[in-house]
Amino acid sequence: MERPRLFLSAVSEELRTARQTMARTVRTLGFDPVSQDDFPTGYGELRQWLREQLDSAEGLIQLVGVGYGAEPPQVDPDYGRISYTQFEFFYAYKQKKKTWLIVIDKDFPRDKASDQLDLPRDDNQPDRTGYQAERRTLQQEYLAQLKRENHLRHSANNLTELDNIVLRLHDGLGELRREWDDWLQKDAGFKSRTLAKQDYAEAKLDKVAAMLEAIYAASATQTASERTDDAVLRAQREEIEALRAQVQAGAAQHQADLTNAEKQYVAELAARDRVYAQEIVVFRKAVEDIADTPEGVAALTRFNAGDEPGAITVLDQLRAAHNAARQKRADLESAAEGRRIATLALEARTRGKLTTAQVITRYEEVTRLDPGVHWDWVELGRLYEDSGNLPGALRAAQAAGVTAEDERDQSVANNAIGDVLVAQGDLPAALTAFRAGLTIRETLAMRDPANTGWQRDLYVSYWRLADLAEKQKATKEALTYWKQAYDVLSKIDKRGLHLSPEDRQYLATLQEKVRAGAQ
């Protein structure tokens, strides 16, 4: 039986050990892991090898850290300037492979300290700090894109958490059970000696798993302070493990009669069975959340008395009491799906395949279901402004300010408010909004002068204020802002950092503005 393959993705200099640990866990789930560690020397261009491996894999798991990693020698024609690790995710997602992204938190053990990542290999590089900062910004922009498009689902603080996340990703228990039953049917001798014990153990496991899954679903809204120890459930788990030992002992008696192929298959089943036991442990932790509530006690009492239907009835009543919370979660899940579709619709509009009104409808639905995402309101405000709905654009920009998650988000909202006010002709109010955004961006730029993204934000704010000053006939003030914008952008260029073609056009425009103002 050919084992399915999973591609494991990470920046090697930062997370090679974590990726190797994840590979061992993936093998216990019945998959063959593959990663850049397997790249054959002398093969050729790395992206072609990555495409071939991803095409033959069932899916991709990527560890997302702070490191950008190595990048192709030329800008990728499909995805722009990206690292090899970023390419792995974008290509897998485009090929409709199953993808899981795990964000590595700041305390996670790394193979190389964060401040030593993404430094140039060439010791003669004149601006090592700027080189590193530019790549760090590119990685942060990648993280922001993943967040906007709602790809992120998991985060890990340590190797144990990472291992547990990977174990929870698999969904093949039902298929595994069917394979096990099929195999038993082919071996009457084994079945006659062990089936009775196996049936009893599996039936008990099924009951416990069903109960714990129900309790786990019902406990989503409970607080951590309600957790307590449950000796009865612990004893139940010990009984299950004893039954499992009996089944394994029966299997050992028959081991000598198995063919080599059957031995290998039984070994794989045993490995997956251990994973199933770990799932029971996960449910055990979840049940602690409601073990001391009246509903939890009643459910456990009925279950231990052999009244499984009665226990399920109690849990059904508890779930019914949580309808509002479940509806909220359903709305958020629907909004996440809608957000991905809206992003595609926005791209289709850029290519002239959808109208602005059609894309607005999708973003309105997303913000109705999940009104707490800053970038949804930013996009909706831009769409409203493009359609001429300035009151709607102003409301969306103000909502973007309310939902801002950090200072940079707030500066984006201030600029959006200012843009709408300019379009409405309220230049004094627009000036107030633009200056508020500038204050934030000057603070961020001073805090980290090596952050190219924040420096770009700063020149954009100066540009907006210069343009507004020209509209107000304030020529001297406009020239001051034009010079400040030119100074920021030209310094980025002189440091040899990446400028987009659009930025280079702006640099030429700024140079002309300053030259003309000096005459």
User: Model confidence over 153-183: pLDDT tens digits?
Assistant: 788 888 888 887 887 765 433 343 344 445 4
Q: Does the pLDDT value for residue 215 go beyond 70? A: no
Three-state secondary structure call for residue 103: strand
Same domain, 165 and 178: no
Q: Does the pLDDT value for residue 10 go beyond 90? A: yes
pLDDT tens-digit series, residues 353-410: 889 999 899 899 889 988 888 889 999 999 999 999 999 999 999 999 999 988 989 9
Enter the pTM of the model: 0.43
Of the three residues 280, 306, 332, the one that is the final residue of a domain is 306
Residue 35 tokens, joined: 């990663």
Same domain, 414 and 462: no
In the chain, the number of structural domains is: 4
Q: Please write down the long-range contacts of 454-461, taking CB distance under 8 Å and 24 or more positions apart.
A: 454/408, 455/488, 455/491, 455/492, 456/488, 456/489, 456/492, 456/503, 457/408, 457/411, 458/488, 459/484, 459/485, 459/488, 459/489, 459/506, 460/415, 460/485, 461/411, 461/415, 461/434, 461/437
Tell which wins on pLDDT, 14 or 204.
14
Of the three residues 281, 306, 331, the one that is the final residue of a domain is 306
pLDDT tens-digit series, residues 245-282: 665 665 555 555 445 545 565 566 556 555 545 544 44
From the list 348, 412, 426, the residue with the least C-alpha distance to 381 is: 412
Q: Does the pLDDT value for residue 283 go beyond 50? A: no
Same domain, 463 and 499: yes
Beta strands at 154-156 and 5-9: parallel, antiparallel or unpaired: unpaired
Determine contact, residues 156/61, Cβ cutoff 8 Å.
no
Same domain, 378 and 401: yes
- Check residue 467 and give its pLDDT: 92
- Check residue 106 and give its pLDDT: 85
Same domain, 76 and 28: yes
What CATH number does residue 13 fall under? 3.40.50.10140
Residue type present at position 84: Y
Same domain, 362 and 500: no
Confidence of residue 464 (pLDDT cuts 50, 70, 90): very high
Judge whether 437 lies within some domain.
no
Of the three residues 141, 169, 197, the one that is the final residue of a domain is 169
Mean pLDDT, range 15-39, rounded to an integer:
82
Mean pLDDT, range 313-319, rounded to an integer:
65
Judge whether 317 lies within some domain.
no
- Check residue 270 and give its pLDDT: 58
In sequence order, what are the residues at sequence separation of 6 or more whose Cβ sits closer than 8 angstroms to the Cβ of residue 188? none
Q: Give the domain extent around 179.
A: 173-306
